[in-house]
Structure 1
Amino acid sequence: MKFEKIFKDELDHCYAIMRLQQGDHDFIVVASEENKPCYAYDLNNDYQRTTVWPDVGGTMTMVQIPGTLNFLATQKFYPGFNSAACRIVKETFNGQDWDQTIVGDFPYIHRFDILPKADGKGYWYVGCSIANSKKDTDDWTDPGKVWVGDYDDDAARVDNLRALPDFTLTKNHGYKRMNGYSLITGVQGIFKLTPPTATADWQLEQLSDIETSDIFSADINQDGREEYLTIEGFHGPYLRVSDDHFNSIARSEADTPFGHAIWGGKLGNRDYFIFGWRSGKQNLELITSDHLDAQLIDQQVGPSNVTVYEKNGQTYLLSANREANQVAIYAIDID
Structure 2
Amino acid sequence: MKFDKIFKDDLDHCYAIMRLQHDDKDYIVVASEEKKPCYAYDLNNDFARTTVWPDVGGTMTMVQIPGTLNFLATQRFYPGFNSAACRIVKETFNGTDWDQTIVGDFPYVHRFDILPKYDGSGYWYVGCSIANSKKDTDDWTDPGKVWVGEYNDATETVDDLHALDFRLTKNHGYKRMDGYSLITGVQGIFKLVPPTADKDWQLTQLSDVETSDIFSADINQDGEEEYLTIEGFHGPYLRVSDHNFNTISRSEADTPFGHAIWGGKLGDRDYFIFGWRAGKQNLELITSDKLDAQLIDEKMGPSNVTVYNKNGQTYLLSANREANQVAVYAINL
User: For residues 66 and 179 of structure 2, what CA distance do their matches in structure 1 show?
Assistant: 16
Aligned to 2:183: 184
Percent identity between the two aligned chains = 86
Deviations 1:12-32 (A, max 9, x none): 000000000000000000000
Letter of the aligned partner of 2:93 in structure 1?
A: F
Please show how residues 123-138 of structure 1 align to structure 2 within 5 Å.
123-138=123-138
1:149 Cα offset (Å): 0.2
RMSD of aligned residue pairs (Cα, Å): 0.2
Question: Where does the alignment leave 5 or more consecutive residues of structure 2 unmatched?
Answer: none
Deviations 1:58-107 (A, max 9, x none): 00000000000000000000000000000000000000000000000000
Aligned to 2:223: 224
Aligned to 2:81: 81
Aligned to 1:279: 278
Letter of the aligned partner of 1:49 in structure 2?
A: R
User: For residues 281 and 113 of structure 1, what CA distance do their matches in structure 2 show?
Assistant: 32
Deviations 1:135-163 (A, max 9, x none): 00000000000000000001100000000
1:214 Cα offset (Å): 0.1
Deviations 1:234-266 (A, max 9, x none): 000000000000000000000000000000000
Letter of the aligned partner of 2:270 in structure 1?
A: D
1:222 Cα offset (Å): 0.1
Letter of the aligned partner of 1:173 in structure 2?
A: H
User: For residues 123 and 255 of structure 2, what CA distance do their matches in structure 1 show?
Assistant: 37
Letter of the aligned partner of 1:186 in structure 2?
A: G
Please show how residues 134-149 of structure 1 align to structure 2 within 5 Å.
134-149=134-149
Secondary structure of 1:150's partner? Answer: strand
Aligned to 1:175: 174
Aligned to 2:260: 261
User: For residues 25 and 155 of structure 2, what CA distance do their matches in structure 1 show?
Assistant: 24
User: For residues 127 and 193 of structure 1, what CA distance do their matches in structure 2 show?
Assistant: 11
Secondary structure of 2:322's partner? Answer: helix
1:278 Cα offset (Å): 0.1
Deviations 1:177-234 (A, max 9, x none): 0000000000000000000011110000000000000000000000000000000000
* Runs of 4+ in structure 1 over 3 Å off: none
1:176 Cα offset (Å): 0.1
User: For residues 240 and 317 of structure 1, what CA distance do their matches in structure 2 show?
Assistant: 22
Aligned to 2:23: 23
Question: Where does the alignment leave 5 or more consecutive residues of structure 1 unmatched?
Answer: none
TM-score, normalising length: structure 2: 1.00
Aligned to 1:155: 155
User: For residues 122 and 314 of structure 2, what CA distance do their matches in structure 1 show?
Assistant: 33
Deviations 1:30-76 (A, max 9, x none): 00000000000000000000000001100000000000000000000
Aligned length: 333
Secondary structure of 1:168's partner? Answer: strand
Letter of the aligned partner of 2:22 in structure 1?
A: Q
Deviations 1:283-316 (A, max 9, x none): 0000000000000000000000000000000000
Letter of the aligned partner of 2:91 in structure 1?
A: E
Secondary structure of 1:323's partner? Answer: helix
Please show how residues 42-57 of structure 1 align to structure 2 within 5 Å.
42-57=42-57
**2:233 aligned with 1:234, yes or no?**
yes
User: For residues 120 and 97 of structure 1, what CA distance do their matches in structure 2 show?
Assistant: 29
User: For residues 267 and 150 of structure 1, what CA distance do their matches in structure 2 show?
Assistant: 35
User: For residues 77 and 323 of structure 2, what CA distance do their matches in structure 1 show?
Assistant: 20
TM-score, normalising length: structure 1: 0.99
Deviations 1:104-143 (A, max 9, x none): 0000000000000011111000000000000000000000
